[in-house]
Amino acid sequence: MAQTVVKINNLVKRYKELIAVDHFDLEIKQGEVFGLLGPNGSGKTTTINCLLSLLDFDKGEIEIFGEKMTPTNYALKKRIGVISQNVAVYDELTVYENIDYFCGLYITDKATRKKYVDDAIKFVGLEDFLKFRPKKLSGGLLRRLNIACGIAHKPELIILDEPTVAVDPQSRNRILEGILELNAQGATIIYTSHYMEEVEQICSRIAIMDKGKNIALGTKAELKKMIRNTETVSIETAEPEDEIIAKMKDLPHVYDVDYKDGKIFVYCSGGKHNLIRILGVLQEKDIHFGRVYSELPTLNDVFLEITGKQLRDSE
């Protein structure tokens, strides 16, 4: 059975009248790529800061690798790497000097430190930029430098907070590949992002936070089973008569039908042969149609249904 790497029990964090984290529980096993999602203001960042002992909290217990996390538990902190959303490097140092400095906070042996720094540089592909200072780097290269600084000491638990914000597709792909490679090498990953397709691509299990609570937890498949919509069928056709819409609404597993932008949208909950029955209604009435799509729900659909579609303020 996999070791528990992170255990959060009944965590409460208040800011005066505001409850930022509300009796929050979470357990992450060794080897997971764990996605922590939530709208702005949901409590993700506060939870991570409590986890790292950067914030005091009002109630609860936090253990990492079976040990209580405290501000002075440096042996435990050595086993953790943090890559924050805001790039945290020194402008006056070169790429090499930055990685060497951050690695040196944990690794004192010179030979080991040099090897680790070289490994980190190779891992993020910055060999051609060692003498550059951060201000000379593109957004994607800067993000990769930030990651190298966070993982150079080879941590066992890596926390990545929005690591692909404002980078080009090539750099984003390289970062995601790198995260999976770190996981394959044995690291447990906590990953936060607003890019649902990234989370769907790399995370083995996901928690969705809202208003400080853990409101949904499971694999991608398990989360998708929590929502009503299991399939959306869209059909290009002229606007149908009300009778056609009514017949489709009467089909098994269909809970709604809509027509917009030259397409009929049929929303289904469950069922295995929805598309055949829907097209049967059109063929029965000899109605011509164009392209037909059958789409399964995405993680973004799950997220919006569970947390709502209203706009949120920034954290």
**What pLDDT shows up at residue 313?**
58
pLDDT of residue 315: 47
The rounded distance, in Å, linking the Cα atoms of 39 and 172 is: 21
What gap in Å lies between CA 28 and CA 16, rounded to an integer? 30
- Fold exhibited by the domain 231-290: Alpha-Beta Plaits (3.30.70)
Q: What is the pLDDT along the chain (315 residues), one digit of tens a residue?
A: 779 999 999 999 999 999 999 999 999 999 999 999 999 889 999 999 999 999 999 999 999 999 999 999 989 999 999 998 888 899 999 999 999 999 999 999 999 999 999 999 999 999 999 999 999 999 889 999 999 999 999 999 999 998 888 788 888 888 899 999 999 999 999 999 888 999 999 999 999 999 999 999 999 999 998 999 999 999 999 999 999 999 999 999 999 999 999 999 999 998 889 999 999 999 999 999 999 999 999 999 999 989 986 655 544
- pLDDT for residue 312: 56
pTM for this structure? 0.87
* 121 contacts 65 by C-beta, under 8 angstroms: no
Report residue 111: phi and psi, to 5°. -65, -45
β pairing state of 188-192 and 33-37: parallel
pLDDT in the model for residue 220: 94
Distance from first CA to last CA of the chain, Å, rounded?
A: 37
The CATH number, out of the four listed (3.40.640.10, 3.40.50.300, 3.40.980.10, 3.30.1330.10), of the domain defined by the range 4-224: 3.40.50.300
Please state the φ and ψ torsions of residue 83, each to the nearest 5 degrees: -115, 105
Collect all residues with Cβ–Cβ distance below 8 Å to 247 and sequence separation of at least 6: 281
The confidence score (pLDDT) of residue 311 equals 57
- Phi/psi-derived region of residue 194, left when phi > 0, alpha when psi is between -120 and 50, beta in every other case: alpha
Domain chopping of the chain, boundaries: 4-224, 231-290
| DSSP strands (E only) in the chain | 4-15, 18-29, 33-37, 59-64, 67-68, 80-83, 157-161, 188-192, 205-210, 213-218, 231-236, 254-260, 263-268, 292-295
